[in-house]
């Protein structure tokens, strides 16, 4: 098993290189880079503020308007600007170097976890990630824990009472929860419980209230969970269905196997058969999928929820970086997410082995 772990660890740098290379090439081919956006902003400033600009400002306005004339330059609109001015913009964003050199330099910095500074915020990328991480961790961790705490017992009960009225009724509830997107359910929660139309029981913005600093320890804990209630509920409702059905189907598959029939024939109680023999085998897929489920909710499933509830987390940060072409933030978050995902996938494999020591990835043939 140790050899397998070492092989997987050795593959992480190669996988990261492939992920970063593919995305770097895509970004280079995509139109509307930061230099083009800066020129467009200058055009907008010139068009809206020409009357208020004088001296150097008037020259900037005229140069910005002239940007529309260029169509054959490396950057759309750059031909009408002063070449020195365009070169300064390129240097500011690091585009004065060839793409290959920029990529090698970026990887060298990322190995040292130096992600540089945001193009549009006077803050380093790592500080931005650390600033937004508590929000995403709060959403992802509590959502994943609640999903597992609800789905596993519910799936076991449904397996034991397969075909009963409870199983049918709960299946309908699960189908409805799965069919309604989480962001729509979030809007419904806001309308009903957050002052949208009916009740105003829960806050709508942030993870803490304005009086956070003045609260006692218990008051801060209560305020934190009070703010988390609606966004976590919206994420849980849309995510627990698949895990519940996976748990049920895993138990049903194990219950019908020969070793369960033998255990019952020996006179073991149903609980002893279920939790002493079936549980470990049936929970392999469920438990080992915890790291992947956490990553999915942490970095993908909460973007719209963060936007709807005004939660400034990692998902919203990455989305805004893509829209604004903030490349340091884009690639910095991509690198961190990819590295974390690869490590958690390895942890998932190790979890298989911990749940059932008979599974040893290191002994399989390569």
* pLDDT tens per residue, range 311-357: 888 878 888 888 888 888 989 888 988 888 888 878 877 777 776 66
Q: Model confidence at 61, in pLDDT bands (50, 70, 90)?
A: very low
Task: Give the DSSP letter of residue 75.
Answer: S
* Cα torsion through 69, 75, 81, 85, rounded to 10: 180
Give pTM, 2 decimals. 0.71
Task: Give the DSSP letter of residue 124.
Answer: B
Residue with tokens 């009070």: 226
Q: Residue 67 pLDDT > 50, yes or no?
A: no
Using only the alpha carbons of the chain, give its radius of gyration.
27
* pLDDT tens per residue, range 121-180: 888 899 998 888 888 888 888 888 888 888 888 988 898 888 899 999 999 988 888 888
Structural domains of the chain, ranges and CATH numbers in brackets:
32-112 (no CATH), 126-363 (1.10.3720.10)
| H or E stretch at 6 | helix 2-29
Give the length of the chain.
Answer: 366
Q: Residue 295 pLDDT > 90, yes or no?
A: no
What is the C-alpha separation between 166 and 53, in angstroms, rounded? Answer: 72
């Amino acid at each position: 098993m140790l050899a397998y772990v070492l092989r997987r660890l050795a593959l992480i740098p190669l996988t990261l290189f492939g992920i970063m290379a593919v995305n770097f090439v895509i970004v280079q081919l995509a139109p509307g880079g930061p230099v083009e956006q800066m020129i467009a902003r200058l055009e907008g400033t010139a068009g809206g503020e020409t009357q208020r600009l004088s001296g150097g400002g008037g020259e900037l306005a005229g140069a910005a308007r002239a940007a529309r004339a260029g169509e054959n330059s490396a950057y759309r609109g750059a031909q009408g600007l002063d070449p020195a001015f365009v070169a300064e913009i390129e240097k500011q964003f690091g585009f004065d170097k060839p793409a290959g050199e920029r990529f090698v330099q970026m990887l060298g910095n990322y190995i040292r976890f130096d992600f540089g500074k945001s193009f549009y915020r006077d803050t380093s990328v790592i500080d931005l990630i650390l600033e937004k991480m508590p929000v995403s961790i709060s959403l992802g961790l509590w959502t994943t824990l609640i999903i597992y705490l609800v789905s596993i017992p519910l799936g076991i009960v449904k397996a034991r009472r397969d075909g009963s009225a409870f199983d049918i009724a709960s299946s309908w509830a699960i189908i409805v929860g799965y069919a309604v997107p989480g962001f729509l359910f979030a809007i419904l929660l806001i309308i009903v419980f957050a002052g949208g139309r009916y009740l105003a029981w829960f806050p709508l913005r942030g993870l803490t209230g304005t009086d956070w600093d003045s609260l006692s320890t218990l008051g801060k804990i209560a305020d934190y969970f009070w703010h988390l209630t609606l966004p976590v509920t919206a994420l849980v409702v849309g995510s627990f269905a698949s895990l519940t059905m996976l748990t049920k189907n895993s138990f049903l598959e194990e219950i019908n196997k020969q070793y369960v029939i033998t255990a019952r024939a020996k006179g073991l109680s149903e609980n002893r058969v279920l939790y002493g023999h079936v549980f470990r085998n049936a929970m392999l897929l469920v438990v080992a999928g915890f790291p992947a489920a956490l990553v999915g909710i942490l970095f993908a499933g909460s973007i719209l929820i963060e936007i709807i509830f005004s939660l400034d987390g990692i998902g919203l940060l990455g989305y805004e970086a893509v829209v604004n072409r903030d490349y340091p933030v884009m690639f910095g978050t991509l690198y961190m997410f990819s590295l974390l995902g690869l490590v958690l996938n390895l942890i998932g494999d190790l979890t298989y082995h911990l749940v059932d020591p008979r599974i040893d990835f290191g002994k399989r043939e390569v």
